[in-house]
Amino acid sequence: MIAIHDLPHVLAAINAATIVVLLYAYSRIRARDRVGHRRTMFAAICLGVAFLAVYLVYHASAGLAKFGGHGPVRPIYFTLLAVHVAMAFVVAVLVPLTFYNAMKGRFATHKRFARVTFPLWLFVASSGLVVYVMAVHLYPLNTS
C-alpha cells in the first residue's frame, strides 16, 4: 500500500503523465484524428480526476507542504506556487466547460475554450512538477 508520505511522488507522476497525454491529444487533433483526440482527452480527464482525488487525500492527511529553501529562492518558489495554485483553480473550471462543450457537439465553442484551456492545463501540470522538484528534491524541509 502507498503511504501518505509517498503521495507527492504519485502526484508528480500523474502530472508528468498528464503532460504527455495532453501533448499527444493535441497532436491527434492537429492530425484531424477526432477519435484519437477524444480517446486521449478522456484519458487526460481521468488523470485530472485521479490527481484531484490523490491531492485531496494527501492534503487532508499531511497538511500543507513545507519548503526548506532559504534566501532568494524562497520568493521565487512561493511566487511560482501562488501562480500555480491560482491557475489550477482556473483550469478546474475551464476543463469541465471545455469537455462539456465537446460532449454536446458545440465544437466552435469547444475550440475557443480549448485554445485557452490547453496551454493553461499544460502550465499547471508543468509548474506542478517544478514545485514538486523544488520542495521535495532540491529544498526539502530539514527537520533534523
Quick: pLDDT tens for 42-82. 999 999 999 999 999 999 998 777 899 999 999 999 999 99
pLDDT-derived band at 15, boundaries 50, 70, 90: very high
Cβ pair 67, 74 in contact under 8 A: yes
Distance CA 44, CA 68 (A): 32
Q: Where are the domains positioned within the chain?
A: 4-138
113: its cell numbers: 475554450
In this prediction, residue 143 carries a pLDDT of 64
Distance CA 51, CA 54 (A): 5
Q: Is the pLDDT of residue 144 over 60?
A: no
The predicted model gives 84-97 an average pLDDT of 98
Backbone angles phi, psi at 114, to 5 degrees: -65, -30
- The CATH class of the 4-138 domain is mainly alpha
For the range 28-36, what are the long-range contacts, defined as Cβ-Cβ under 8 Å and sequence gap of 24 or more? none
Cβ pair 109, 101 in contact under 8 A: yes
User: What are the Cα distances from residue 135, in Å, to 15, 57, 63, 81?
Assistant: 15, 19, 14, 10
Cβ pair 94, 116 in contact under 8 A: yes
Mean residue pLDDT across the chain: 95
